[in-house]
């Protein structure tokens, strides 16, 4: 029984990864205090895998509680660390919240791992570590520039913490995860109001919002709106399983981009949702938003070469599953 501790495992990416870990023969152990998700994803995971899932309802910054988890669970093969706040805009408004939680939770986890001789960790990083890259598509050799937000800065600092630690690590630098599991049993259950593009689009489509505001149409891009690399969350989840397999056999420090390599503008993303779901989305153009990067998309050749991973799900499949989740959640 190969136990993997999954912090933030009831969250959006975490829940999908728990499903994929189970399918690959691992035994995931969730640690999540539900501060920004709900038991809906726990229940959804159990429906998909057909079994109960082990879950500890604790805060990852609570050293005493985390120590207890490690002692109760016995031999743990590795950890996947998702537990972090993730809204770029909120991090600009409330940076201390992000510094305390995002770095604090990793610090506690690494201390527990050292104490219990757990060597392997997959870290949920982000393309925001690159800031505004000079060369596109961006690869793993690109320097860390000044972060455009406190959220991005916490990811940079956390990657530094991993490099300084004795653990073996893989930092997966995600681009923009979207969509949901094909069953629509799990998805983004964030307690706060969505700040990412696709969940906002689905809320407009469902009548929860009147319209979506596109932040800026005067960027140096073909249609003036920001460009991102949108990756289906199921594809992203699978990269964590491959990363754990890889790390167990290849000790050391590693970092991989996880993206499609395709840049899609905000307006093109809205159009893709409209076309796929045969819906019309009300939007307006607003001013630029603090913390936003003009454009970024991945060079994912390294993750393909080392892990054998590449994106399989299309933008259209992601947009359909996002809408299916919104209708059923």
Q: Please write the tens of the pLDDT for every residue from 214-229.
A: 999 999 999 999 999 9
Res 195 pLDDT > 90:
no
Q: Please write the tens of the pLDDT for every residue from 165-189.
A: 999 999 999 999 999 999 999 999 9
User: Rounded mean pLDDT of 284-296?
Assistant: 92
Res 191 pLDDT > 80:
no
Q: What rounded mean pLDDT belongs to the chain?
A: 96
Ranges of H-type helices in the chain: 12-23, 39-49, 63-73, 88-93, 95-98, 104-115, 150-164, 197-205, 233-249, 266-277, 301-307, 315-328
Structural domains in the chain plus CATH codes: 2-180+230-259 (3.40.50.720)
pTM of the model: 0.97
In the set 98, 151, 174, 230, the catalytic residue is 151
Res 1 pLDDT > 90:
no
pLDDT band at 207 (very low <50, low <70, confident <90, very high): very high
Q: Please write the tens of the pLDDT for every residue from 97-131.
A: 999 999 999 999 999 999 999 999 999 999 999 98
151 an active-site residue? Answer: yes
pLDDT of 88: 83
Res 194 pLDDT > 80:
no
Q: Please write the tens of the pLDDT for every residue from 291-312.
A: 788 999 999 999 999 999 999 9
DSSP letter assigned to residue 99 = I
More confident residue, 194 or 257: 257
Q: Are 139 and 97 in contact (CB under 8 A)?
A: no
The CA distance from 104 to 109, in Å, is: 9
């Amino acid at each position: 029984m190969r136990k993997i501790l999954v912090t933030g495992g009831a969250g959006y990416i975490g829940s999908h990864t728990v499903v994929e870990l189970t399918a690959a023969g691992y035994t995931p152990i969730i640690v999540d205090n539900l501060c920004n998700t709900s038991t809906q994803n726990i229940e959804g995971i159990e429906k998909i895998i057909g079994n109960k899932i082990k879950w500890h309802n604790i805060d990852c910054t609570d050293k005493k509680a985390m120590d207890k988890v490690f002692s109760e669970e016995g031999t743990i093969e590795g950890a996947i660390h998702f537990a972090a706040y993730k809204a770029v805009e909120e991090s600009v408004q409330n940076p201390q919240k992000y510094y305390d939680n995002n770095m604090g939770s990793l610090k506690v986890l690494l201390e527990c791992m050292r104490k219990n001789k757990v060597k392997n960790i997959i870290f949920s990083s982000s393309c925001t570590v690159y800031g505004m890259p000079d060369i596109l598509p961006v690869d793993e050799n690109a320097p860390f520039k000044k972060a455009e937000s406190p959220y991005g800065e916490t990811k940079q600092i956390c990657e530094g913490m991993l490099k300084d630690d004795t653990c073996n690590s893989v930092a997966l630098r995600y681009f923009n995860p979207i969509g949901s599991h094909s069953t629509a049993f799990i998805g983004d259950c964030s307690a706060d109001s969505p700040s990412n593009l696709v969940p906002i689009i689905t809320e407009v489509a469902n009548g929860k919002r009147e319209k979506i505001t596109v932040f800026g149409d005067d960027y140096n891009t073909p249609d003036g709106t920001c460009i991102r690399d949108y990756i289906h969350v199921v594809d992203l989840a699978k990269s964590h399983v491959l990363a754990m397999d890889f790390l167990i056999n290849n000790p050391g420090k590693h970092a991989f981009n996880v993206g499609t390599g395709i840049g899609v503008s905000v307006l093109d993303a809205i159009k893709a949702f409209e076309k796929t779901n045969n819906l019309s989305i009300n939007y307006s153009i607003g001013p630029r938003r603090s913390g936003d990067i003009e454009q970024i998309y991945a060079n994912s050749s390294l993750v393909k070469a080392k892990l054998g991973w590449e994106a399989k799900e299309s933008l259209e499949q992601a947009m359909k599953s996002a809408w299916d989740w919104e209708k059923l959640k």
